[in-house]
Every structure is written in C-alpha cells, then in structure tokens.
Amino acid sequence: MTGSGPLEAGNSSNMKVRLACPECDLLHENQKIKTGHSSYCRRCGAILFRGQKDSLDRTLAYACTGLVFFLLANISPILVFKMRGNLSANQLVDGALAFLSSGYWPLGILVLFASVIAPLMVLCFLVSILLPLKYHRLPIFPEWQIRTLLALRPWAMAEIFVIGIMVAFVKLRDFADVGIGGSLVGIICMVSAMVLAFLSLDHRELWKRLEELKK
C-alpha cells in the first residue's frame, strides 16, 4: 500500500497532491511506486493505479493478440448441433442476427454490441492509441479515443458470452449431439488477451506520455 492520507486540511499548500481516490475522493500524494505494484486508497481500499513494467507496450501486445484471435473467432463455427442426420452450426454474429430477424431487435442490437462490436472497438482503440505512442507520434483525437474506450469497457461482454456459450452447450447436450467448433477457442483466447490488456494498462503512464508528446 502506498499513497498518503488522510491528510489534515490546511497542510495542503505545502504538499504536492496529485490524485483523488475515484471512490471516496481522498487526496493522495503522487508517489513513485515499485514496478509491478499497484497503489490503493488508504481510506477505502479502491485501486488508484496499477504500476506495471512496460505497461503500454504490454497492453499494445495483448491488444494486437486479441485482434488476431478476434479474426480467428469469426472464421469457424462456435458450436455444431446434430440431430437425426441434420446439422446446424452457429458463428459469432449469428445469435445477434437471429434476434434481429425474430422481432426481438432490441436484444439483437444489445447482443451484437456486447459480444461483437464493443470488444472489437475496445481492441481497435487500444491499438490506435498505443501504436502511434510507441513511435512517439500523437494518436488521432487521443482524448476522445481514451474516453470512448473507458466508456465502452463495461459493455464489452465477450467473457460473459463465453459462459453463455457453455450454458447453451450443456443444455443442448441432454437433447442432441453438440460439438465444439474452432471459434470457441478463438473467442476464449481473445477474451484472455483483452482482460490482460486492461490489467496491464497504467492510465497514469498513458496520460504522462500523451502530455509529453503534446508539449
């Protein structure tokens, strides 16, 4: 645990306070922390930032990996369903399309957004922010991209989609022959890469690099 506080009011003038806890608003001094350690709020325990070695490079690598696996997730079927010699299979976008064509279009839009569009956009934004930064160039509309990325993050539900696929698989297995398609592996790898990308992203470092480049 690093970070100072609770501080007494009145001492603020001679202290270099730089960070407020996002969950309880307590001010913290911006201290240097060891790489690989995270910083937490002294009062409520909220995470203030993650200190990660080569944070931005790692995130960029994970995001690129995620994009490759996203493509793989769209090539082959997720599940294959067999019944009396008949076969049917589904792909990543098929669930959303089935909702759209069955009259439940709000669900179609929701599923399409949460399982396809938002994860793809999150990965694309990560690459389009971090790749130019790596070569000391300013990304296009960096502020807008970062804000959109953070707003999109909770709606990128690919990890929940994976559990949904597993539940569907178990439910159908009682009833008919179900096989797992290659796409499922692709989706699971994409989800893992996306989670790792966010875990290694140090927002402080990101803004520091951006502000240095703007000068």
Q: Which residues bind another protein (CB under 8 A)?
A: 5-9, 11-12, 17-20, 22-27, 43-46, 78-79, 81, 83-84, 86, 88-90, 94-99, 102, 104, 106-107, 110-111, 114-115, 143-144, 146-147, 150, 154, 157, 160-161, 163-168, 170-172, 174-176, 203, 207, 211
The answer to whether 145 and 129 are in contact (CB under 8 A) is yes
Closer CB to another protein, residue 54 or residue 144? Answer: 144
Q: How far is the CB of 58 from another protein (least distance, A)?
A: 20
Provide the token pair at 201.
């992203």
Name the nearest CA neighbour of 119 among 198, 47, 203. Answer: 198
Q: How far is the CB of 38 from another protein (least distance, A)?
A: 14
The answer to whether 158 and 190 are in contact (CB under 8 A) is yes
Provide the token pair at 169.
């698989």
Name the nearest CA neighbour of 146 among 125, 166, 163, 131. Answer: 125
The answer to whether 72 and 92 are in contact (CB under 8 A) is no
Q: How far is the CB of 143 from another protein (least distance, A)?
A: 5
Closer CB to another protein, residue 12 or residue 31? Answer: 12
Name the nearest CA neighbour of 177 among 75, 77, 86, 73. Answer: 86
At 50 the three-state DSSP class reads strand
Q: How far is the CB of 16 from another protein (least distance, A)?
A: 11
Closer CB to another protein, residue 38 or residue 61? Answer: 38
Closer CB to another protein, residue 61 or residue 152? Answer: 152
Q: How far is the CB of 178 from another protein (least distance, A)?
A: 8
